[in-house]
Amino acid sequence: MESRLSVAGQAVQPILVMFPLGLFAMAVMFDLADLLGGPSILGALAYWNVVAGLVGGALAAVAGAADVMFARRSQDRRLGALRSLINVGVLVAFAVIAMLRVQAADRVVGGGLFTVELFALALAGFGAWFGGEIANGRPPAFARAAVGNRNY
């Protein structure tokens, strides 16, 4: 799938995806350190990483939507929509995590919310891998089956 939104010949959406991915990964690391007995400020740092990741993720979602809207082939539009659904799922999961953290003292998480955060990060990693496979022109078999074209 060719990106339509580019700056200086470089696609914008793949670049924008890396910022929230890194911020979400750092939030998980800060929370892990906090749960293992680190200073309580790590919970607040993790919270603000999640918030910044949500802002960056929203920008990446807009860039991804622009790519999907201007895709020429219907298979590309379907694969782009599937990629967008995965990315929006990640944003929703981290938004719920952020909303639940607002109520906690020092914005720290417990074991259950940390598990959800790990799952959301794994989904984000899968979404980044999936987007990379689509960008390189080799969508996985499940995606080819989802768009209804096995000879992609």
Q: Which residues of the chain have pLDDT under 70?
A: 1-12, 136, 142-152
pLDDT at 49: 95
Tens digits of residue pLDDT in 21-39? 999 999 999 999 999 988 9
- Paired with 10 in beta bridges are 7
Q: At what angle do helices 111-135 and 12-35 cross, to 10 degrees?
A: 160
Give the dihedral sign, CA 33/34/35/37. positive
Range of the domain at 21: 6-147
Total domains present in the chain: 1
Domain assignment present for residue 23? The answer is: yes
* pTM score of the predicted model: 0.81
In a domain, 101, yes or no: yes
Question: Is 80 within the bounds of a domain?
Answer: yes
Q: State the angle between helix axes of 12-35 and 41-69 in degrees (0 to 180), rounded to the nearest 10.
A: 160
In a domain, residue 152? The reply is no
